[in-house]
Amino acid sequence: MGIAADIAGDWEAALAALSWQVDAGVDEVIGDAPVNRYELAAEVRKPASSPAPLVPVQAADPVAEARAMAAAAPSLDALREAMASYDHCELKRGARNLVFADGNPAARVLVLGEAPGAEEDREGRPFVGRAGQLLDKMFAAIGLGRTAPDPAQALYITNVLPWRPPGNRDPEPGEIAMLLPFVERHIALVNPEVIVVMGNTPLYALTGGKGILRARGTWTTALGKPVLPMTHPAYLLRNPAAKREAWADLLSLQARLRG
């Protein structure tokens, strides 16, 4: 009973002391050490952890993606499928068909043109319009043709761009750059002995040079292959006098093949 009485006495004494403090105007308990309320407010405003810095999303590199897709193609059919699934070239959205190639893949001569025209876009094959008909006549004059089963007399024909530019405009440098890996892989898979570049676009794509009228007829090298620049058949249709120079180029090609 003595202990209980002592506890009750202490409780009553503490309550009396608290009542006295409240009457005296005490409204908070003061600790032994001072407290800086400004620091406490800053700590309340400070987030528990800093957010992670925003990492910018890297835009896709069309050329790098084309290079990877082309390198992964083990055959011409696989390369065609890779090009059909390539979505970075806006020309694809306005074209009817992907114009891949025509002729004999075992041919000694690969003809590289610029881009499909309206006829090619409709049919899905390169060089089938008026310019293509002239091309067939030109190479037939030296015994070569796209339908020849004998590789020694055959042609294989493709373009730098597989889709038709609107209004048959010239291909833009960005379009050439993003599709060049497919062209290079195409040539590697066919592995021709000789490449004929017809027009400014394929000349620029393979050699980096410009000016087909100056370059035509002069043999050069690209991708480890002999390359003969020639004027495009469409140019010959507009300038018939230039057919004489084109004939000289064809004879040069014939001599190269015989040699």
Look up the CATH number of the domain holding residue 80: 3.40.470.10
- Compute how many other C-beta atoms are within 10 angstroms of the C-beta atom of residue 78: 15
Closest CA to 90 of 2, 166, 142, 150: 166
Q: How far is CA 11 from the centre of its chain?
A: 85
- Is 123 within a domain? yes
Domain extent at residue 242: 62-258
- Is 54 within a domain? no
**pLDDT at residue 143 in the model:** 98
Give this prediction's pTM: 0.77
- Is 51 within a domain? no
**pLDDT at residue 181 in the model:** 98
**Which three-class secondary structure state does DSSP give residue 258?**
helix
- Is 77 within a domain? yes
Query: How many CA atoms, within 13 angstroms, populate the side-chain half-sphere of residue 193?
Result: 15
Question: Domain tally for the chain?
Answer: 1
- Is 14 within a domain? no
Q: How far is CA 65 from the centre of its chain?
A: 5
- Is 106 within a domain? yes
- Is 5 within a domain? no
Q: Exposed (0-12), middle (13-18) or buried (19+): which is 253, by Cβ within 10 Å?
A: buried
User: Which residues on neighbouring strands pair with residue 156, listed in sequence order?
Assistant: 103, 110
**pLDDT at residue 175 in the model:** 97
Mean pLDDT per 10-residue interval, the chain, length 259 residues: 53 66 61 61 55 60 97 98 97 96 98 97 96 98 97 98 95 97 98 98 97 97 98 97 98 96
**pLDDT at residue 32 in the model:** 62
**pLDDT at residue 60 in the model:** 79
- Is 158 within a domain? yes
**pLDDT at residue 40 in the model:** 54
